[in-house]
A and B are shown apart, each in its own frame.
Chain A
């Protein structure tokens, strides 16, 4: 209760029961959060270990854990990587537009519009992906197969429904756009005004100013924004589960065919309802794998953001 940092508070020597209860409540709430996070890891491990050690004939897939989970990890990483490749340039462009190209007053409204994208529930993205995007992507896939078929990514045969890993990645790219835009925008706006004005005063065009003043300042922020987006894309479930037409155990670089690898999260959502016995444990174990991957990605991203905070003097 007594403070060593703030001499003004040191004088309050009377500690009332109300004080003790209140500070106890808040401290335990803080510790509870740490316990919840530890609990997520602990309970997933407890329920997951029987799944990892289960023998092939005990589970529905008829495979032991590693061969079962490997194609899923591959699908997860593939979909998230493509989503990131599509989304990062757009996010940087949108953030730059809002922070430096559009009029100041308009910028806030445009920011709200982008934030609305973040408010759309994932099941709505799924419905949109399957009801609107997939049918509209199908002709593009046919064209890609016909004209760029020599590239392994577009080898085909092109899916007639458009429910490919490429479509899923586009949906993911839209879903992770708002968070990346929000972070990039914040950081672009924090660029020291003097750097920008110095560049412009030396005769730089607006783009040269962005390249010389904004990007060097914002580089680590952009990296961490991309990693947070990656974390989101890795863990997104429903949109992928609804859009993707899955064949179990596929590992392929072909992005436009109707045989696609599933992702960990989508696979859990699709199989959990009918699972029983050790199969449930296998699914929980695959969830643990996903948790570890996303935790590491988020941990790294936040560590970069935090380190930057210490040195930039932005706050």
Chain B
């Protein structure tokens, strides 16, 4: 805070110009002091009085509200409102972080108990009580998601190419773009019912098949692939296309050899994120792929286990005694979370290291 002293004939003594311009203000460190005091009090309560974490967080919040009250006394109503909103906005962010860390901590602490070599290499066939593993579910998840990727990526890629390179903004492309957006909101269970209704027509009632799960996941995956690929293709500079045409390269080769390689990093990122989105889907697989205790490598034959369905079923029907099965559910959830986070990390790394320079 700088204080300028001016000599004023009518009013002897120094005049605080800053104060005159800004009115009374709280010290700069006021927010830090108040929140710090809140944290200290909450920590003391947490250690000494053994209140739970949620209550401690509430204490910090309540003490933070001192700041707007103090401000109202010193700075006036408008600035007090501003400070109140700052406290609310900041605490809404902290509030949103709470479930994230709570989920991570709960899943890691409860899930890491069962992880081990047996957990990843054994199926649940003929397992009662302790032991067994998620090998069958892991195989199922990888096969089903892999097949969904094989179905979705070509369709999504070519649709994006159509939208960016061929449609030239006609009515069909506007409808496709709009409906793809709407499709991203299809509930996953509806996608599962669609796959079931489709397969029932060919295979009769009660059909359960891994490939049906792939079809259902594709319905959820295609819109994500289309949108991300479209964004990436739009980023490719037009000069590259024009240079290619100028050399007499046909349009399809321009798209295949110039446009796609330029956008490749972005497309791979988008596809990886799309896989991460569908690999955790439970509802459609519950309906069309079902659950089983045995390993099944054939997508076209009978029930197929998957990680999310395994976690759900182990929690829902734990058998007796229940704790082993519920431990396995947490273990499967932990594995699933690891896979999803890994895919997200890969996506970010690919986009960071392989995008053309200047687009980062």
Contact = CB atoms under 8 A, between A and B. Distances in A.
Interface stretch (B120-128, B154-162, B261-269): B154-162
Interface stretch (B6-14, B37-45, B101-109, B293-301): B101-109
A113 B96 CA distance: 10
A14 B315 CA distance: 63
A261 B352 CA distance: 47
Contacts of A94: 89, 92-93, 96
Q: Which of B154, B308, B341 has the most CB of A within 10 A?
A: B308
Main secondary structure of the interface of B (DSSP, over half): helix
A235 B189 contact: yes
B176 interface: yes
Nearest to A115: B344
A69 interface: no
User: Interface size bucket, B side?
Assistant: 35 or more
Interface string A83-124: 000000110111011100110000000100110110111111
Nearest to A291: B190
A238 B280 CA distance: 11
Main secondary structure of the interface of A (DSSP, over half): helix
Contacts of A98: 93
Contacts, number: 285
Given A39-B198, A128-B102, A132-B106, A34 B175 contact: yes
A23 B102 contact: no
Interface in A12-52: 12, 14, 16, 18-19, 21-23, 25-34, 36-37, 39-40, 43-44, 46-47
Contacts of B336: 121, 123-124
A33 B180 contact: yes
Interface residues of A, number: 101
A140 B154 CA distance: 51
A306 B107 CA distance: 39
Contact of B89 (A97, A123, A177): A97
B257 to A, nearest CB: 11
A269 B242 contact: no
**Top 8 nearest A-B pairs by Cβ distance?**
A235-B187, A121-B280, A93-B92, A29-B158, A26-B162, A22-B252, A298-B185, A205-B82
13 contacts: A1-B251, A8-B245, A18-B250, A22-B252, A22-B256, A23-B162, A27-B162, A37-B179, A205-B79, A235-B187, A290-B190, A305-B181, A306-B178
